């Protein structure tokens, strides 16, 4: 009985404690980016979503009560705070952002407290640097790139806001689809609390020039080649431009059967392509293997297309040819003397023997069988009549 009473008392105490915790003070509020620094939540100013919120202490004993982060809407909520206890509430974002409202508040009990913070700003001008001097001159076109810094993306030309204090890497937007390259792909920079940092990002149109080398045929063979021979067509392609680019080419008038492509080359549509972009200053060798099937072939002609991204500023070196002579092999089978079915037969002429040899009867082409059969039938009929007449005379 005593044990039951003790257990019941413990449960009541626990239940009462939970009820007290649930009935404690509630502190809540908003953490937002106060971009204009006026301490007021204005339209368009975003909240600090899913970030740090506030830290709460017992102001009398310095006891740490808890930390409370923000939700997807930038709001924090601390529940079950002790009633009647002086509290010290601190904005937990002062290590990375400037503050536009008091960063610490002392009060007894709950309530609503909003905290404004201000991040750094990275801004600058993105433009086409036609003269490549790194400075935007009059008439040089402005761009609207989506530069990235951490999880933030630029808007306009260009502005990245709410940047926390730290060392950062600015990743410049890829504008190759517009035929442009940045002066640098990434830029390292430090952004202080609430500081504004300017970084101009010039772009330029790179010089593009793909060069086709001499066409070669292998293996070496003296004289003309024959139908049925296999040849390897090879040639070098060099990127003499300023940017990596995709390479495509066609082989005109082949009159030959393609057997295989070499490493790094694939058939693509009506032509061929390198499997990887060709870097500036690099050279790739393309190889194609053919079987010679037509003796009328006179050679191979290769046409190098402009680069897939940046084109080609000089197409005078994009075509090359190599001559080829092919002969049909002589036939090793004697001509057949057997007439094909249905083919006309040549007439046969018989030359009569010279001298006193007896002459042969001329062949009329008529078969003697039917006249012979008719004669035998008449002879048999005559014999039958003769025997019948003799028989009648005997009876008479």
Residue 381 DSSP one-character state: H
Q: Report the Cα 165 to chain-centroid distance in Å.
A: 38
For residue 340, the model assigns a pLDDT of: 44
For the cut 60, the answer to whether the pLDDT of residue 76 exceeds it is yes
For residue 338, the model assigns a pLDDT of: 47
Residue 384 lies in a domain: no
Residue 57 lies in a domain: yes
322 and 214 within one domain: yes
For the cut 90, the answer to whether the pLDDT of residue 9 exceeds it is no
Mean pLDDT, residues 281-306: 95
For residue 31, the model assigns a pLDDT of: 98
For residue 44, the model assigns a pLDDT of: 95
Residue 88 lies in a domain: yes
Output 20 or 257, whichever has higher pLDDT. 257
Confidence of residue 385 (pLDDT cuts 50, 70, 90): low
For residue 48, the model assigns a pLDDT of: 98
Residue 364 lies in a domain: no
Domain boundary among 157, 180, 204: 204
Output 349 or 92, whichever has higher pLDDT. 92
- The predicted-structure confidence for 307-337, as pLDDT tens digits, reads as follows 999 999 999 999 999 999 898 876 655 555 4
For residue 254, the model assigns a pLDDT of: 74
Which distant-in-sequence residues (6+ apart) come within 8 Å of 54 by Cβ? 27, 29, 67, 68, 76, 78, 89, 90, 91, 92, 113, 115
Mean pLDDT, residues 137-141: 94
106 and 31 within one domain: yes
Output 178 or 382, whichever has higher pLDDT. 178
For residue 117, the model assigns a pLDDT of: 98
141 and 190 within one domain: yes
Mean pLDDT, residues 234-262: 94
321 and 220 within one domain: yes
SS (H, E, C) 100-169: CCCCEEEEECCEECCEEEECEEEECCEEECCCCCCCCCCCCCECCCCCEECCEECECCCEEEEECCEEEE
For residue 321, the model assigns a pLDDT of: 96
Could you tell me the residue range of the domain that residue 110 belongs to? 19-117
CA distance 145 to 159: 10
Share of the chain above pLDDT 70, in %: 77
Phi, psi of 277 (to 5 degrees): -60, 145
Mean pLDDT, residues 258-286: 96
273 and 222 within one domain: yes
CA distance 208 to 188: 29
CA distance 232 to 225: 13
175 and 244 within one domain: no
CA distance 71 to 77: 9
Residue 359 lies in a domain: no
CATH of the domain at 76: 2.60.40.10
For residue 186, the model assigns a pLDDT of: 86
Residue 177 lies in a domain: yes
For the cut 70, the answer to whether the pLDDT of residue 382 exceeds it is no
Domain boundary among 327, 348, 365: 327
126 and 113 within one domain: no
Mean pLDDT, residues 115-123: 97
Domain boundary among 158, 173, 204: 204
Count how many domains the chain has. Answer: 3
CA distance 28 to 75: 7
For residue 345, the model assigns a pLDDT of: 43
Residue 274 lies in a domain: yes
125 and 98 within one domain: no
Please choose, from the candidates 165, 142, 161, the residue with its C-alpha nearest in 3D space to the C-alpha of residue 152. Answer: 161
91 and 108 within one domain: yes
314 and 214 within one domain: yes
For the cut 80, the answer to whether the pLDDT of residue 7 exceeds it is no
26 and 112 within one domain: yes
CA distance 78 to 66: 8
Confidence of residue 344 (pLDDT cuts 50, 70, 90): very low
For residue 335, the model assigns a pLDDT of: 53
For residue 372, the model assigns a pLDDT of: 58
For residue 348, the model assigns a pLDDT of: 42
Share of the chain above pLDDT 90, in %: 69
For the cut 90, the answer to whether the pLDDT of residue 140 exceeds it is yes
Confidence of residue 373 (pLDDT cuts 50, 70, 90): low
CA distance 3 to 256: 102
CA distance to 68, 86, 117, 118, 170, per residue, from 95 (Å): 16, 25, 11, 12, 22
Output 21 or 237, whichever has higher pLDDT. 237
258 and 273 within one domain: yes
Please choose, from the candidates 296, 303, 300, 307, the residue with its C-alpha nearest in 3D space to the C-alpha of residue 317. Answer: 303
Q: In the predicted model, what is the mean pLDDT of the chain?
A: 84
Residue 54 lies in a domain: yes
Mean pLDDT, residues 191-202: 95
For residue 41, the model assigns a pLDDT of: 97
- The predicted-structure confidence for 208-242, as pLDDT tens digits, reads as follows 999 999 999 999 888 789 999 999 999 999 999 99
CA distance to 52, 64, 91, 270, 343, per residue, from 68 (Å): 7, 12, 10, 64, 104
CA distance 118 to 357: 136
Beta bridge partners of residue 304, listed in sequence order:
249
């Amino acid at each position: 009985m005593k044990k039951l009473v003790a257990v019941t008392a413990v449960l009541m105490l626990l239940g009462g404690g939970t009820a007290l915790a649930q009935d404690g003070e509630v502190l809540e509020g908003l953490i937002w980016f106060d971009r204009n620094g006026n301490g007021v939540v204005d339209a368009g100013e975003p909240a600090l979503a899913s970030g740090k919120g506030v830290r709460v202490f017992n102001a009398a004993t310095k006891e740490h009560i808890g930390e409370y982060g923000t939700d997807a809407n930038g709001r924090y909520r601390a529940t079950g705070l002790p009633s009647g206890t002086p509290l010290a509430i601190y904005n937990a974002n002062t290590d990375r952002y400037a503050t536009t409202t008091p960063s610490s508040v002392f009060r007894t009990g709950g309530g609503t407290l909003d905290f404004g913070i201000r991040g750094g700003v990275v801004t600058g001008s993105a433009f086409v640097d036609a003269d490549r001097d790194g400075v935007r001159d009059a008439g040089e076109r402005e761009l609207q790139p989506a530069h990235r810094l951490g999880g933030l993306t630029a808007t306009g030309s260009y502005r990245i806001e709410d940047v926390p204090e730290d060392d950062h890497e600015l990743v410049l937007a890829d504008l190759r689809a517009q035929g442009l390259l940045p002066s640098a792909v990434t830029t390292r920079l430090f952004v202080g609390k609430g500081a504004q940092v300017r970084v101009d990002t010039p772009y330029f149109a790179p010089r593009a020039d793909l060069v086709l080398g001499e066409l070669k045929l292998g293996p070496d063979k003296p004289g003309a080649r024959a139908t049925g021979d296999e040849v390897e067509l090879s040639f070098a392609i060099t990127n003499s431009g300023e940017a990596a680019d995709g390479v495509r080419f066609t082989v005109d008038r082949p009159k030959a059967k393609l057997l295989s492509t070499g490493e790094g080359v694939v058939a693509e549509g009506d032509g061929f392509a390198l499997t990887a972009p060709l870097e500036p200053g690099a050279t790739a060798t393309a190889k194609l293997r053919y079987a010679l099937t037509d003796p009328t072939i006179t050679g191979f002609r290769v046409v190098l297309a402009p680069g897939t991204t940046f084109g080609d500023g000089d197409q005078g070196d994009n075509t090359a040819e190599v001559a080829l002579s092919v002969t049909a092999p002589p036939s090793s089978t004697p001509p057949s003397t057997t007439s094909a079915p249905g083919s006309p037969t040549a007439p046969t002429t018989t030359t009569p023997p010279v001298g006193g040899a007896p002459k042969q009867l001329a062949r009329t082409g008529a078969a003697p069988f039917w006249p012979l059969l008719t004669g035998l039938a008449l002879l048999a009929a005559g014999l039958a009549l003769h025997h019948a007449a003799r028989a009648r005379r005997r009876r008479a």
